[in-house]
A and B are shown apart, each in its own frame.
Chain A
């Protein structure tokens, strides 16, 4: 019986392909693409202010609301945070990735890769929570800063308009630190992967030809590792753009995109506006991915 079925299938590779591909594609198309489509559809509806009901007819009114100053500020604020986080992550990740790829012994390297990968997969929420403890006004960081007699500098930093706040735990500076922290592994891994592919002979050739270490770094390593940086930036940028946990836990009343979407769909019940707001990150990410592909980032993934 199985033998005959086996022969039957062997003669029909197209049927086998359909059987293999069918379930996953059906699931992803119906559940995922279907939902995205309904989301897109809803962004063209609008919420009737007086009745609080969603009017299901095609309109661009909801999209027009996005360009109101308050919402425009949310986009600008979120995009600048995402950009700042991406730059900081690249700066912190590069030395570590370079060290892992080119200097660590094979044994140490295995452990370092595990040490970087585990935080990438695990306990996103717990890692945010850790910073709630660290940044608290009475917490360990403030204690440390007082120990170094730097409280004056901290207060000055917190008094700056735009990035300051009542304490580190409730300010854009605090959010920035936490974002940099939680997305750092997403930047390290692609840079390390890109650097692994740079043959060591190339670096030796560069120094044999008389380049100083910094010159080798600038003219050989950096250009070859750049696609890795771009690949990492896709994650850090995209993840910051859509996050609402960090702003809700550490932010103040100044909204970020994710937070706005969360509150529009929740208490306000304004799903069309939440949907239209979400299209912002989607469009930004599609443009970002297209540019990243041009820069060769996908080979580094």
Chain B
């Protein structure tokens, strides 16, 4: 694989500087939030901080509105992830195992919700909910989230299927295993980490989503909607800092592990080719 061979020359100073500058630009702003969780200042974003305090963590823990928003977000993300796992894996299996008319269209349809601006999905669902007189509920949020989570699982699982050797499945069938045994003992172990990676990404994507949710939640408040309301009308600045930090961490971990899994499996598979 050419990608494993780095170019024989050293990077020029200018390039190295520009590259690391870009990387700093990508990550330093997040650190600023860490800093601000410690500010005693309630009404402005004054820098340098007028002092240091840890009290906002305690204050945030006491807020029942935050707990309600967090619970709703977790419930939505959990169910949207399960739906995405089932639908995404089914679609990936269908596309992998057979040639059929419209195979390209399947990929296209699944990727559409993330290729088009989020507001298109949002306003389309909002319009339909209104036109069909469906009351806003937990389920309207879940259904909206599932539409854009499916593609994440689909991509991960399909990529794994394509690296899997078809001969393994044939061998299993030849040795007398039925389709279900083959799935349980051959296919599933092969795709398990892809499911895990896809599932974690889908979870993070849903937990964090605000654009589509704005249109499908009605009066309900998910954690991202709570933050969004603070962005436009800041009332609880210090508590928002703590919440932002928390959301960072809760989405960072699954994404980090999903990336590690994907990178590892790509390494081991890549070596054999």
Contact = CB atoms under 8 A, between A and B. Distances in A.
Interface of A: 2-3, 5-7, 9-10, 13, 16-17, 20-21, 23-25, 27-29, 31-36, 38-39, 42, 92-93, 95-96, 98-106, 109-110, 112-119, 121-134, 136, 138-140, 142-143, 181, 184-185, 188, 196-200, 203-204, 213, 234, 238-239, 241-245, 248-249, 257-258, 261-262, 265, 271, 274-275, 278, 281-282, 285, 289
18 contacts: A2-B180, A17-B94, A23-B86, A24-B87, A28-B109, A39-B120, A99-B18, A125-B228, A126-B247, A133-B32, A140-B47, A196-B3, A200-B7, A204-B7, A204-B8, A239-B118, A244-B211, A245-B211
Interface string B1-44: 01111111111100110110011011101101100100000001
Per CB-CB distance, the 6 closest pairs between chain A and chain B, nearest first, are A242-B117, A6-B178, A99-B19, A95-B18, A20-B94, A35-B124
Interface residues of B, number: 96
Given A6-B179, A115-B26, A241 B117 contact: yes
Nearest to B244: A126
Contacts of B215: 265
Q: Which of A130, A142, A281 neighbours the largest number of chain B CB atoms within 10 Å of its CB?
A: A130
B81 interface: no
Interface of chain A, main secondary structure:
helix
Given A7-B178, A125-B227, A184-B22, A32 B121 contact: yes
Contacts of A99: 11, 15-16, 18-19
Contacts, number: 292
Contacts of B32: 130, 133-134, 140
A12 to B, nearest CB: 12
A25 B180 CA distance: 23
Contacts of A34: 128
